[in-house]
Amino acid sequence: MPKLIKGVGCPYCGSSCDDIEVLVSDDETRILEVHNACIIGTNLFHHANDPTRPRLPRQRQPDGSVKEIPYEEAIDYFAKTLLAAKKPLIYGFGSTNCEGMSAVGRIAEKAGAVLDNCATICHGPSFLAMFDNGYPSCTLGEAKNRADVVVFWGCNPMHAHPRHTSRYSIFPRGYFTQKGQMQRTVLCVDPRETDTAKLADHHLMLDQSHDYELFDAFRTVLRGFDIPEVVAGIPREKIKEAAEIMKKAKFCMIFFGMGCTHTDGRNHNIDAAISLTRDLNEHTKCSIMAMRGHYNIAGPGQVWSWQFGFPYCIDLTKGSHAHMNPGETSSIDLAMRDEVDCFVNVGTDAGAHFPIQAVQHLKKHPWITVDPNFCMASEIADLHIPVRIAGVDEPGVVYRMDNVPIQFRAVIKGLPGVPSDEELFDMVYERMCELTNTAPIWLAAKEDRKYPQNPAVI
Amino acid sequence: MPKISLNMITQRSIEEGAAMEKGKTNPDYFDACSICEMHPDDMKKAGIWKNTNVLVTSECGSVIVKAITATQYVPPGLAHIRQGVWANQVVPPRTQSTGTPQYSGFPVTIEPAPDEKLKTALQLVQGSVGLWKGGQ
Ligand code: SF4
C-alpha cells in the first residue's frame, strides 16, 4: 500500500512550505504523488525518482573523461586537496540542512579555508545593510495575521516564491485579517509589469536601478517635505498616494528582493529601505523582510553566526580567529582576483549561477562538487561526490526566510551507500585529522547526532 | 546590421525554477532560459523578428539567445534574460566591493543573429573552461 506522508517540507524556495503531502510507494523508494506543492516543489520531489541519479563519486581523468571511484578514495582526495591548498574556498549551502552546514565548519577550520554561502551573490547586501542599520522584522505569521498593507519591492513572489502570497502575504485569512485579500492593499515596486505587479492594487513602475531615489522620496514625503515632480520615473502624486497608504496602514509589511540587492547601490538600497521602515514606525507599525531565496539559505547565516560570529564571507585562514569583509573575502571577489587555489561547491551550482568569468578563474585550480544531482558545477568538477537530498531522503533543520527553524523530514529511503552532507563532511574531517596526525575535536553536536554514521558507507 | 543598446536585467521565472528542478541538462531548462525578453518597439528598431536568435553583448562577453515578446511586460529600453547559464555569459562580475555581481542593470547591445545557433548549457559552461568534447 502506498503511504501518504503529511507535514512534509519542500526543499526549494525560502517559503519553506511545510504543508506538503507526499504519496510514496510501499517500499518507500519512490515518490508517486506530491500534493499542495507548487510546480517547482512538485518537480523537485519527482526528480528524486530519477534512476540516473549518481550513486558513486566521479573523478575526472587526465584525458578529460570521468570515472566512478569508491567513496573512500573520494574522501581521501577531498581531504588531501584541502590540506594541500593554501587558501581553499568552500561555497554554497543554499540547499542543504543545518547539520551539514555545521559539520563543514570543522573542515573549513582545519583547512584554513574561506567559508561562504549563496548569500554572497543574493541577499549579502541585505546583511551589510543590517549591520549598518538593524533589521526591524517579524515572522511570516505576523504578516499573515496582521498586515493590511503589503509592499513587494523589487521581488516577484509569483515566480520566485510561488506560494508566498497564498500562505503568508496576500490571500490567507489571518486572525486580524479575516477578510483575506479584500482587507489588504498590495503595492508593487518593479520596473517590469510582473505577475506580482498584476496582482497588486498599485504598481509603481519605476526606472530600473533607481530604487534609492524612490526610497528617499518616500522618506522625504513622510517627513512632510516636498519632492520633485517625478522621481525615478514615478509622478509626485503617485508617490504621495503610496506613502499615505503605507502611513495609514494598521500594519505595513515590506518584502524586498533582488531588484534591490542586485542593482546599483546594492546594500545602500536596503539601507534606505530599512530607514523607511523605521520612519514608518513613527506613524504605524511597519516591518521589513528579505525574500530569502533557497529554503535554507537563512541556515548558514544562523549556524555560522553561532560558530564563528559571522554569517558569510568567513575567512578562516588565520587559524586563530575569523575575519569577515565582503568585497575582500567574498567568493566572487576572491575568484576574480585569483586569490583562492581550490574550490568546493556544496549544495549549489556555481557553474551555472556565477558570472562565467568567475567560473573560469576558479577552474584554474582543483574543483570539488558535493551535490545529489548532475548540474553544471558537477560537470566541470575534478571530483563530484553525490550525497542525499535534504528534505527528500535526508531529514534536518532548515531556516525559513524569517529565520524560523523547521524540522524537515525524509520521505523516501536514501540510495544505498550514499551519505548525507553531514556524514560526508565528518568523514572528510576524520581523514584530515589522520593525515595531519591530530586528534579530531568533536563539539557536542557530534555526540548528539540523531543520524549516526551510516555503516553502509565505507 | 542594426544594433540596439539596452539595459539588461536577469531575474527569476517559474518556468526556469520548474525546469531547473528537472535538471539543468533537461530540454525544459534550455527552452526556459535561452531567451531574451524585450519590448516590441525595441525589436523593431533593431530589425529583430519575434522568436529569432540575437547576439547579446555586454562589457564582459556575449551569448546567442532567442528574442521573444515579453512574458511579463518590459518597458522600452529594458531587456530581460532569465537567470541561469545563458544570462551569466554576459553578467559583469564587478561587485561594487560587496561580493554581489551586477546581475541586474548593466548595458548590453543586441543585434539580430538569425543564422547563429543556440548553444546548450553544457556546451557553454564546459566550453568556457576548455572541457567541451562535443561538436559545435
Ligand atoms: S512555494 Fe517554495 S517552498 Fe512552497 S512548494 Fe513552492 S517551491 Fe516549495
> How many folded domains does chain A comprise?
3
Residue A181's domain spans which residues? Answer: 124-290
Does A53 reside within a domain?
no
For the entire predicted model, the pTM comes to: 0.96
What pLDDT was estimated at residue A59? 98
Is residue A223 within 8 A of residue A233, CB to CB? The reply is no
- Whether residue A427 has pLDDT greater than 80: yes
Answer whether A158's CB lies under 8 Å from A165's CB.
yes
The answer to whether residue A449 scores a pLDDT higher than 70 is no
A380 shares a domain with A245: no
Residue A356 identity (one-letter amino acid): I
Give the integer Cα–Cα distance in Å for A102 and A329: 20
Asked if residue A458 is part of any domain, the answer here is no
Atom from ligand 1 closest to the CA of residue B17:
7
pLDDT for B136 equals: 63
3-state secondary structure of A32: strand
pLDDT tens-digit series, residues A377-414 = 999 999 999 999 999 999 999 999 999 999 999 999 99
Q: Is ipTM beyond 0.90?
A: yes
Q: Calculate mean pLDDT across residues A86-99.
A: 96
If contacts are CB pairs under 8 Å, which of residues 382-411 in chain A contact chain B?
none
The reply to whether A160 and A285 lie within a common domain is: yes
Residue B49 belongs to domain with CATH number: 2.40.40.20
Task: Report CA-CA distances (Å) from A138 to A253, A292, A295, A451.
Answer: 9, 14, 18, 32
Residue B134 included in any domain: no
Note whether A197 and A255 are same-domain residues: yes
**Domain span including residue B121:** 4-128
Q: Which atom of ligand 1 is nearest to the CA of A16?
A: 3
Q: Do A285 and A301 fall into the same domain?
A: no
- Report the C-alpha gap between B46 and B58 in whole angstroms: 16
Query: Which among A290, A314, A347 is the end of a domain?
Result: A290
Q: Are residues A148 and A107 in the same domain?
A: no
Minimal Cα–Cα distance from B26 to chain A, Å?
10
Cell of A202: 498599485
Can you give the CATH number for the domain in which A105 is found?
A: 3.40.50.740
Cα separation, A280 vs B33, whole angstroms: 39
Are B95 and A43 inside 8 Å of each other by CB? Answer: no
Average pLDDT of A253-272? Answer: 98
Find the Cα–Cα–Cα–Cα dihedral A236, A241, A242, A244, rounded to 10°.
120
CB contact under 8 A, B78 and A120: no
Residue B135 lies in a domain: no
3-class state of residue A441 by DSSP: coil
Query: A398 in a domain, yes or no?
Result: yes
- Are A212 and A328 in a shared domain? no
User: Residue-wise pLDDT tens for chain B (136 aa)?
Assistant: 689 999 999 999 999 999 999 999 999 999 999 999 999 999 999 999 999 999 999 999 999 999 999 999 999 999 999 999 999 999 999 999 999 999 999 999 999 999 999 999 999 999 999 999 887 6
- For residue B133, tell me if it sits in a domain: no
Q: Determine the pLDDT at residue A452.
A: 53
Q: In what order do the strands lie in the sheet with A323-324?
A: A66-68, A58-60, A383-385, A367-370, A342-346, A88-92, A114-117, A314-315, A323-324
Whether A221 lines ligand 1, by a CB cut-off of 6 Å, is: no
Q: Quote the CA–CA distance of A159 and A162 in Å, as a whole number.
A: 5
Tell me, yes or no, whether A89 and A186 share the same domain.
Answer: no
Q: Which residues contact B32 (CB under 8 A, 6 or more apart)?
A: B13, B15, B16, B18, B19, B20, B82, B84
Report pLDDT digits (tens) over A186-197: 999 999 999 999
Q: Judge if the beta carbon of residue A163 lies within 6 A of ligand 1.
A: yes
B70 interface with A at CB cutoff 8 Å: yes
Q: Residue A190 sits in a domain of what CATH number?
A: 3.40.228.10
Nearest-atom index, ligand 1, CA of A20: 5
Does residue A16's CB lie within 6 angstroms of at least one atom of ligand 1? yes
Residue A458 confidence class, pLDDT cut points 50, 70, 90: very low
- Tally of domains in chain B: 1
Chain B CB within 8 Å of residue A360 CB: yes
Residue A325 Cα, ligand 1 centroid: separation in angstroms?
32
Let me know whether A220 and A326 are in one domain.
no
**How far apart are the C-alpha atoms of A75 and A424, rounded to whole Å?**
8
